[in-house]
A and B are shown apart, each in its own frame.
Chain A
Amino acid sequence: MGKIVESPRYSCTLGGALATVRNFYRTIPILHAGPGCGPQVTMGQSSTAGYQGVGYIGGNGIPSTNMYEKEVIFGGEARLRELIQSTTEIMEGDFYFVLTGCTSDIIGDNVEAIVEEYRQKGIPVGYAETAGFKGNSYYGYELVLEALAKQVVKPYEKDPQLVNLFGIVPYQDINWQGNIEEISRLLKKLGLKVNTFLSDKQGLNTIQSSSKAALNIILSPWLAKKAADIYEEAFDVPYLRFPGLPIGPTATSDFLQKVGDFLEIDSNLVREVIHEESDYVYHYFERLTEIYVRYNFAIIGDSNNVLGLTKFLAEDFGQIPVLVVITDSPDDKARNEIVEILSGLECVVPPKIVFTKDQWEIKNEVIKAKPTYILGSSLDREVAQELSVPFQSVSFPVTDRLVMNRAYAGYRGSITLIEDLFTPR
């Protein structure tokens, strides 16, 4: 397997970190990076996730030191100081967050010391060293969570009704906003309050007091390990990991049951919610029997989405997965778990499972698998057209349609997913 990455399906560490920070409410990212990093990783992260644009702040709106030759040679610390100062004068926000790029990390600017100077002045500012060469978007998301747990979260008294929800990476999950809303809606029905940091106008205050939570829920087989450990050790918040997005009645009911069991929520309430929501889904699914068809599908995406979608389509919807391509480079332990889950799907012969981030390899695998339906990123529309099989974009990057509050997760999301997949075409 080659080392190169053709048509990458994620941005860099800075891309994922910026995607996360700029979606905290009234939070102003400050880039200590090359001049193009802001637009490049906005375009390559959010514009490529169904045209989700700059929002409150992004792209060429982000304060950035724009490190040129002068900073490369003489260092950029003075420039960063100047920019943090002017940013606090101009930008409207409650929280500032410095993110570094390749240039700063290679030349070795002491960002921590500069950030500390501003903290001493009472300015709420966090930082993470997120040079692009360190890894992908997912790693950037993890570094930000870790930085928050170490620098921002403060000890609070417990609130047994409060949970933190982690694992959904903005834009890498193209439906991140809708998915977070749907999962939050369901947890709220169980009587819980939900911190997401990424919805409901949650910003600095929510993050600082997130140690109140009774539980960290992590929707991912591999993300947020270090942050979860810090929350557990420093703030006594345990975590419950659910591998993959819960999509559709079976997986979502399993998810709610596990949360309910862990938090010892009234089992009648959990049962009622599961019943009511599942019944709602089948109200719609019973209308599908005329057009119901069965496909051999190939699916390409990150572990969270691929696990969730494949489980739902195979276990609730009678579809046959023939190829599963995981593109987010999970660690070995998570890989084993992913293989185990996909090999143990109810009702079907296990699909071929491939881990790769390279478009060339993906395309070749898809051709070999002879699918009759392809679910992937917009990059995979090309092979679907070559094979003359139906295609739906479900994973990053998505550039063939607009995505706003669409959700595939939970109960209601599974209905939307079926609308997208089974529109006769």
Chain B
Amino acid sequence: MSVNVLVENREERLNSIIAYGGVSTEILGKFKEKCLKNADRSFTQAFQCQQMTSILTLITVKDAVMLIHAPVGCTGCASFMNSAFRRGQILRGVKNPINAKWVATDLDESDVIHGGEEKLREAILEIEKRHKPKIIFVLTSCASGIIGDDVEGVIANVSKEVDAKVLPVNCEGFKTKITATGYDACYNAILNHILDEEPKPKDPNLVNVLSPFSINKKDHIELERLLSAIGIKANFVPAYAGLEDIERITSAAATTTVCHVHGEYFMDVLEKKYGIPYTREVMPLGIESTDKWLLEVAGLVGKTKEAKELIKKEHERIKPEIDYLKSQLKGKRAFISGGPARATTAGTLAQELGIELVGLHLYHFDELVGEEIKRLVESYGSFNVSVANMQPFEQANLIQRLKPDLFIGVGTWIAKQGITSASVLDQLRNSLGYEGALVVGRKLADAVKNPSFGEKLAKWRKLPYKQEWFDENPFKYLKLEEVV
């Protein structure tokens, strides 16, 4: 077994930040001058830790069991995502879907005092006996990290006794403020414990498409359609993939991803270690972004001509409906919120639909979306920007000031401000590719057409913030002086 090389946090590796409040032109300027510094807030709300991101990334892998070395609470989102996994199987044609398999070592008071290594070892053996899986992912937690369990050591020892590949996923929640670091933890485990040292024989038409679980089956179908139209076979990993698909990664001619904030680390290592080139461009969300993505993928495998033809055909195909959607959405003022790749490309799509951007909230910001911000500034000029690992209190204040017509993002809190919303992250409907541009456009047009749910809800139910808070500077609680 190879040694597990630890990947650095995105704070260190990419200078990712989670605390900024200002305007687009300023953040772009500071970014260009490399003087954006990370900070935090004196008031903070909880957010998705990297361990949750790791669970979401791995829960759909076939013939795998996820062993979460933690008290049972740290498995919570697995139970929730199991329902999406079951729906995902049905969408993929499975009649009787199975449950995802996740197990907690159930760390208790005694383990916290005496260590949980023996329990971890027994758990791995028990899982092997029960399920004979091909892969066992062992996810760490705050508790296992703080008590100092040697997870790698346990795995190194027990691996000799089991047939399954046992992978440590180092994703302790306390180690990073950037939830996307959890993707790197998963890919790092795959890199160090599944892929061979030498690449497999090349398949010149095979392209890896790194995709998180949030990319649904309809998006898979759309991207597969576009890639196969230009003669590319897509290897979607790791969501809904099996061990063979993961092992096949090193035989690919190129790697791309549906979200470079998701896949950048792994793509870069694949290039450095196996010489597999990768795409630097954006998420294929929106028309121009899909063009760019497709052209770049095609360029890596010598299919540029085919891609250009396809793009031309697709543009002609969708133009009438895009024109109609524009007529519905023209001049609407939108606030966009989400992960940095998704939110920035949603901004470009919004522009293609004639929408005006008044505010952008990114879960984090770093060089991976510098280009995207530049694109948005070129299109829209100056708009409000907030960078926050969620922190809905700040967003609520901004929204109250900006009073957008439309919120593009997860609408959990926004409905109570009476703002109509639609998401570009959907378990059932398309978001990506040309088809995704149409579906998202329809959703946005529908949101504008009938805002009654939020409007009525807002009359009856308020957000849990004091009225005084809405009169304060939205960025009052940023601790900019403290460089973390």
Contact = CB atoms under 8 A, between A and B. Distances in A.
Interface of A: 2-8, 10-15, 28, 31, 33-45, 47-48, 53-54, 56-57, 59-72, 82-83, 86-87, 89-93, 101-103, 106-107, 131-136, 359-360, 378-379, 381-382, 385-386, 397, 399-400
A399 to B, nearest CB: 3
B112 A44 contact: no
A162 B126 CA distance: 51
7 contacts: A34-B142, A36-B50, A40-B77, A41-B73, A60-B47, A60-B412, A67-B174
Contact of A62 (B45, B74, B83, B468): B45
A37 to B, nearest CB: 6
Contacts of B98: 382
Given A11-B72, A40-B49, A92 B465 contact: yes
Contacts of B461: 56
B427 to A, nearest CB: 12
Interface in B442-476: 461-462, 464-469
Contact of A15 (B73, B105, B175): B73
Nearest to B413: A61
B177 A5 contact: no
A36 B51 contact: yes
Kindly name the residue among B46, B108, B147 whose own CB sees the greatest number of chain A CB atoms within 10 A.
B46
B324 to A, nearest CB: 33
Interface in B103-131: 103-109, 111-112, 119, 122-123, 126-127, 130
A345 to B, nearest CB: 31
Contact of A93 (B48, B392, B464): B464
Nearest to B147: A106
A133 B112 contact: yes
B73 A14 contact: yes
Contacts of B348: none
Interface string B116-155: 0001001100110010000000000111001100000000
B70 interface: yes
Nearest to A363: B99
Interface of B: 42-52, 70-80, 82-83, 86, 96-99, 101-109, 111-112, 119, 122-123, 126-127, 130, 141-143, 146-147, 173-177, 389-393, 412-413, 461-462, 464-469, 477, 484
Contacts of A40: 49, 51-52, 73-74, 76-77
A102 B76 contact: no
A20 B49 CA distance: 23
A60 B106 contact: no
Contacts of B99: 7, 359, 379, 382
A8 B103 CA distance: 8
A39 B82 CA distance: 16
Contacts of A106: 112, 143, 146-147
